[in-house]
Structure 1
Amino acid sequence: MKAKGAKAVRRRGHAREDYATETVYWDAGTARLLPRLIGEQIRGPLLVTHRKPGPGKLLTPRDVCPDTGLARLSYGQLRALLDRHTCVGGEEGTGWDPHEFRHSGLTHLGEQGVFLLLFMAKSRHKSVSAARRYFEPGAADLAEVTSLLAPSDR
């Protein structure tokens, strides 16, 4: 999988489309759903448009399915589809945003008390200040940390 925020690396002898890749870890529920989403597809983009790109559209080979010729779904198209299928009461603009999915999962990890370094490894955040927004320690957490500094009663 292409790394979040990865930039194409231009090195002698490598194509411009080469990216740093990372291993992605899925839980059992996701691992059970992926085969249903992927089906028989073994290469190319997973989320594609319903028609082939127009003749004036310049796309890299990574953005076109080699088997069907369909183009990768853009972020804007994905956002519109997701909003349409998750909107509240049929009102557009009230549904989920793709970025919200990522952040809701990260918020749940922060609420579960995952160690910051493990959290950063999972979320691929590079800076502590960016990851810190998902952590809001409660009064019980602060009391527990404070008790570690207290002298023993012995």
Structure 2
Amino acid sequence: MHWATATARLLPRLLSSRTTGPVFLADRRAPASGRRAPAAADVCPVTGRGRLSYPRAEYLFKTASAELDPHGDGWTLHQLRR
């Protein structure tokens, strides 16, 4: 992922005192066992929530940006990068 300068300046606030685990988390706790259980590095050690997937992140971004998009569809994460 490419971080612009302004984003990189905000990153320390987002990370705060975190030393392990994913930064962007899913809404629900990750499964603890079974074939769908994520790797330990993909689970927040504090909350037990899993890493936010790309499709879910794109859905959330499109939904949040729909009001601002002149076409009303919302923007994709690829458009956010540009």
TM-score, normalised on structure 2?
0.71
SS class of match (1:51): strand
How many residue pairs match? The answer is 78
Structure with larger RCO (C-alpha < 8 A, sep 6+): 2
RMSD: 2.6
Which ranges of structure 1 fall in alignment gaps of 5 or more residues?
A: 5-23, 105-154
Q: Which runs of 5+ in 2 are unaligned?
A: none
State yes or no: 1:62 paired with 2:41. yes
Offset of residue 44 of structure 1: 0.9
Larger Rg: 1
Query: Counterpart of 2:30?
Result: 53
Aligned to 2:80: 101
Instruction: Point out the structure with the larger helix share.
Output: 1
Higher-strand-fraction structure? 2
Give the Å deviation of 1:77. 0.9
Task: Give the CA deviation at 1:79.
Answer: 0.9
Deviation of the 1:25 alpha carbon: 6.7
Q: Which runs of 4+ in 1 moved over 6 A?
A: none
Structure 2 residue aligned with 1:37, among 14, 19, 25?
A: 14
| Seq. identity, % | 36
Partner amino acid, structure 1, of 2:16: G
Work out which of the residue numbers 54, 67, 74 in structure 2 matches 1:75.
54
